[in-house]
Amino acid sequence: MDKGLLIQALAKLFLGVIVLGILIFLPAGSFHYWQGWLLMGILFVPMFVGGLVMMAKNPDLLRKRLNAKEQETEQKTVVKVSGLLFIAAFVVAGLNWRLGWWILPDWVVWVAAGVFLGAYLLYAEVLRENTYLSRTIEVQENQKVIDTGLYGIVRHPMYMATTVLFLAMPLVLASPISFVIMLGYIPVIAKRIRNEEKVLEEGLEGYAGYKERVKYRVLPFIW
């Protein structure tokens, strides 16, 4: 096992736990915000387990995802806007719980948690199918078009999974106001997809034909 990669992965996981905890519990003004703990659990426990599996099965993919930095100017803007959306959604969720603006019932929270975990499994399947997946927009050396499994249904199953994940998060936090904020992720990811497909069509052999075969980007029969 690559100890350096393990330390890097654990450090990023720990940093994510600290940052998300601050964004959620500081505005909430209390550690009694149980929905916040629920989100932390269903987010980071599978992430930890998935990281260990990836390290054992495909450490190169894990390394790529940990070290990725956007080179496309347009994508740097997309990443910044997405980050602002997340910060706003988490802070508002904490304030919503603290001030009691509009709290969703517990059953909605648990249903959303189930949807979140289902989307996590979908995300894991995408990672299994496509070893070229990167957090950045790029065409990698020897990359080939993947058109099997979920990629035979939609062209961007990873974005399908992440969209469900991100929209479920504010519902797990019992904050419909944060859910409205996170709806802003949809036009952001649409912009990212348009740019990504332009890069892939120009640099990846066979991608134009793949677009003809698989008509839908994210949602079958809809988009």
Quick one: how far is CA 54 from the chain centroid? Answer: 16
- pLDDT value of residue 171: 97
Q: Report the distance separating Cα 167 and Cα 161, nearest Å.
A: 10
Query: Which residues of the chain fall below pLDDT 50?
Result: 135-137
- What domains does the chain contain, in order, with CATH numbers? 3-213 (1.20.120.1630)
Q: Report the distance separating Cα 63 and Cα 70, nearest Å.
A: 15
pTM (two decimals): 0.86
- pLDDT value of residue 135: 47
pLDDT digits (tens, 9 = 90+) for 49-94: 887 877 777 777 777 666 655 555 566 777 788 889 999 999 999 9
Q: Give the Cα-Cα-Cα angle 205, 147, 49 (nearest 5 degrees).
A: 115
